Structure 1
Amino acid sequence: MNKSPKARLFCAAIALASVIAMSPARADDSQTISIMVGGISKFIYLPAKLADQLGYFKDEKLHVELLSQPAGVDAENELLSGSVQAVAGAYDHTIDLQSKGKEVRSIATFLQVPGEVEVVSKASTMKSMADAKGKTLGVTGLGSSTDFLTRYMALKHGITSREYSTLPVGADNSFIAAVQQRRIDAGMTTEPTVSRLLQKGDASVMVDMRTVDGTQQALGGIYPFTGLYVDAGWLASHKQQAAGLARAIARTMKYIHTHTPEEIADKMPKDYYGGDKALYVQALKSTMAMYTPDGKMPAGGPENVLKVLSTINPAIKGKHIDLQRTYTNEFVATANAS
């Protein structure tokens, strides 16, 4: 007996459903986790790319894509717009955003110190941040963490942000160009840009926050800097994926502390070397101490970050900030226990 068109359509749908049900499970595009990085080739974000290169995200059955913006504040905006699910950026943004009524949470910490360096151009008369008055200071972006830190260090010498100019110059080649073209007197940047400038003799180190001692001198204590943070709403509904991301980062931090700079460099894309692998390795050697051993937020770190931000950010000063809602060690602690 011939079936009606509706009956034939129904049978075809049932057959198709059976085929799909018997097919092996696979990830689809909706499962992709996009992570925006505030300058992917910077050493301060190295754990994100290294985790990807080592295959640790894949081990967690996660389909991760890493994207890059020149400044952390741009990466933050991508998260808030819903364009990405996570950001490899500075922890201080979680505090700044909470003061604005937005909640994001750090789930793994890359650095226990900023890893940032205030370099001064060889053409400038600056000797220290006390000489900032009337000068032009480079930052990655306005409202970025380098902007926060620059304002704090100048204010420590009694110089307000109205007494100098701040110029957003990005990172890597654009930062180097700003120094060489004398568009900035000094500026804040990271490795491997610092070593490239020093090698060429274009700049010298004025404030060094690549070490714990240097950070304590500049900022009065430990200062957890970059890590992986996500929107609190996304975290609540995607705990399994968040846990996978944190486990991958925790494994990566252990890898960093159990392998040589040469071995780590070998895992990174060759175009990150800037044409000079030896210099890349040398720069990495000078910054190994800045990485956390396990991805955990260091004790006392959030309190010092809040102290610094409260000094220079009117939106935070005097406002109650619940630091417990800005980060969690839950996932990295589980990873390290296993």
Structure 2
Amino acid sequence: MYTTKVKFRAAIALTSAVMMLTAACGEDSSGSNRTVRFTVFTGATTSWGVYIADAMGFFKTHGVNIKYVSVGSGSSAMQVVASGDTDFALSDATITANASKTGLETQFVAGQFKRFAAELACQPGLTTGSYPESMRALKGKTIGYTAPGSGSDFYLQYSLMEAGVDPADVERIPVGGAPQLIAAYRATSVDCVTAYQPMQQELGDASVPINWQEGEGPAEFSDYLLNGVVASKKYIDGHEDEVRAVALAMKDAAEFASDPANAEEIAKATVKFFPGSNTTDLAAIAEEIADAYTYSVTEQQVASAAIVYKAVTGEDYPLEYADIVAEPARNIIG
């Protein structure tokens, strides 16, 4: 379980509505100054790689300005991509597959995390023991998660299945982003929630039947395509320079964040993205999740996602590896 005692009181004040923020990035040595719109999850560490690329100047180095478009979940991020109201978004391989079935063709420009920095947090005393036995106490219980088809939805369902629990035997409730999940948990309107940072410490002495961040759960989640950077194929085809710039910036960010020695510097640079937090707590989390970063999109990650997708949906994964990786970024992230 997480050992860091983090106080992120601002998490309950976040909104899952779309809002526009602007963060300034300068020009690179070539004089390029391209602006891209980037969808993230406000105030959550699931967006941290992007925040690091911004705050540490990696986007600036590669000549792009960032304008943020914030949403509450991966599935809603894809809706913003489909509407053309953003250029880049955070998504995973299963959400990308679902989008393709609606006619939205997206590709990965970069990886960000290869593991879910999250846990399933349940009301105190609800579960005991460790995975997979701990999950069997969830039969008949209510579990809040972000949205249908989201990464947290697939993580939850597949983890239940691999523990021998039919997802139909629990009541899964799409609640929304971090503020809504925290509120539902505190009101005891749900027994458990999928809790990513900075939610965990807001929930106090929750019982934790599975901690994905610590490597608990199905083997497929040990190397998984989670919260990478995607763009629509239409955008990619017309903006190859921007795609390469973002891929290179995310590569720089992942390599920097993967070194625990950089945790304090990361905390100081990105604390502005986490209202109500402090650099001491952020540094502890940054060190804790350092080994979860990646900029690559590998065939193994896609293969793992295909297994999960088939198990949860009953359908074959509709995309090949070659369909998923953006051509302008292939030699950077492939």
Scaled to the shorter chain, the TM-score interval is 0.7 to 0.9
Equivalent positions of 1:121-136 (< 5 A) are 121-122=123-124, 124=126, 128-136=134-142
Equivalent positions of 1:149-298 (< 5 A) are 149-197=155-203, 200-201=204-205, 203-211=206-214, 213-214=215-216, 216-217=218-219, 219=220, 221-258=222-259, 259-270=261-272, 272=274, 274-292=276-294, 295-298=295-298
Residue deviations 1:273-328 (CA, integer Å, cap 9, x gap): 63444333322222111112xx11245111011100111114xx136432321124
1:34 is matched with which residue?
A: 37
Asked whether the equivalents of residues 32 and 63 of structure 2 are also in contact (C-alpha less than 8 Å), the reply is no
Asked whether the equivalents of residues 95 and 326 of structure 1 are also in contact (C-alpha less than 8 Å), the reply is no
TM-score with structure 1 length normalisation?
0.79
Asked whether the equivalents of residues 113 and 225 of structure 1 are also in contact (C-alpha less than 8 Å), the reply is yes
Equivalent positions of 1:70-85 (< 5 A) are 70-85=72-87
Pairwise CA distance, 1:216 = 4.7
| 2:68 aligned partner, one-letter code | L
2:5 is matched with which residue?
A: none
Q: Which has the larger radius of gyration?
A: 1
Pairwise CA distance, 1:271 = 5.8
Distance 2:254 2:196 in 1: 19
Pairwise CA distance, 1:125 = 5.1
Asked whether the equivalents of residues 97 and 317 of structure 2 are also in contact (C-alpha less than 8 Å), the reply is no
Q: State the secondary structure of the residue aligned to 2:230.
A: strand
| 2:213 aligned partner, one-letter code | R
Asked whether the equivalents of residues 143 and 193 of structure 2 are also in contact (C-alpha less than 8 Å), the reply is yes
TM-score with structure 2 length normalisation?
0.80
1:64 is matched with which residue?
A: 66
Distance 1:235 1:299 in 2: 21
Cα distance change of structure 1 residues 100 and 62 upon mapping to structure 2, 3 Å threshold: same
Asked whether the equivalents of residues 122 and 191 of structure 2 are also in contact (C-alpha less than 8 Å), the reply is yes
Cα distance change of structure 1 residues 257 and 125 upon mapping to structure 2, 3 Å threshold: closer
Asked whether the equivalents of residues 89 and 230 of structure 2 are also in contact (C-alpha less than 8 Å), the reply is yes
| 1:91 aligned partner, one-letter code | A
Pairwise CA distance, 1:106 = 0.7
Q: State the secondary structure of the residue aligned to 2:96.
A: helix
1:306 is matched with which residue?
A: 306
Number of residues of Structure 1 aligned to a counterpart in Structure 2: 299
Q: State the secondary structure of the residue aligned to 1:113.
A: coil
- Name stretches of at least 5 consecutive residues in structure 2 with no aligned partner: 1-30
1:92 is matched with which residue?
A: 94
Provide the alpha-carbon RMSD of the alignment. Answer: 2.6
Bigger mean CA deviation after superposition, 88-97 or 185-194:
88-97
- Identity over aligned residues, as a percent? 19
